[in-house]
Chain A
């Protein structure tokens, strides 16, 4: 079965990529600063912050890079972000001692205008709209003989 993965870097997807890039930059900048400045204050929160920053970078790349493999990487990283913002958001409310300091995900991303909460959802909608599709029927029919 031949499928084609439409480009994810067209139209409004470009704005999505820009915002992802921005969040990757913001998370990386803050996390580098936290790791250098006072890692001992909140090792769990800061390590998670650094992990989040790396995942945002990979997600940004996955949205830009073409092909089915990157499409899957985009789904994995964006799902991870949604999970992260939900779990850490809840934890930072119920267990503020574990997350004493601000991270990208604490308070459901409140420190970043809830962008970390909204962005994965928009990202998933975009990925769903640009999902790999079987090559159009007539084309597939014509090429059946040559395929294994």
Chain B
């Protein structure tokens, strides 16, 4: 995990999540902007997977449990695709909110992953 990339990833997921929840609540159906933002969150997760696979080879290892880190990362990477499929099947405003919920969850999970990698207290 690279520190600035994790921050950027959390920021993007937060913005994408809040945007989609807001647009969903005012009644917008899933559109390119919300679907695209969720797709971007997924792309960053895939980049994160590559970074985290390669990082230990460069001496950048997790301070916490590697297993726990990967449980978070793999589950996080499953969320945006599920939400996007949901948005394609169910063309209502609530799908837009679901896209937002998925991105917000990714933000929280990346934050937890950040803690496991950099600041393991236990």
Contact = CB atoms under 8 A, between A and B. Distances in A.
A19 B79 CA distance: 11
Task: Please classify the interface of chain B as helix (H, G, I), strand (E, B), loop, or mixed, using the class held by over half of its residues.
Answer: helix
B120 interface: no
Interface stretch (A10-18, A57-65, A68-76, A125-133): A10-18
A100 to B, nearest CB: 11
Interface string B82-118: 0100100010101101100110010010000000000
Interface residues of A, number: 16
Nearest to B86: A18
B98 A15 contact: yes
A14 B75 contact: no
A22 interface: yes
B101 A18 contact: yes
6 contacts: A11-B92, A15-B24, A25-B75, A29-B75, A33-B71, A36-B67
Interface of B: 24, 65, 67-68, 71-72, 75, 79, 83, 86, 90, 92, 94-95, 97-98, 101-102, 105, 108
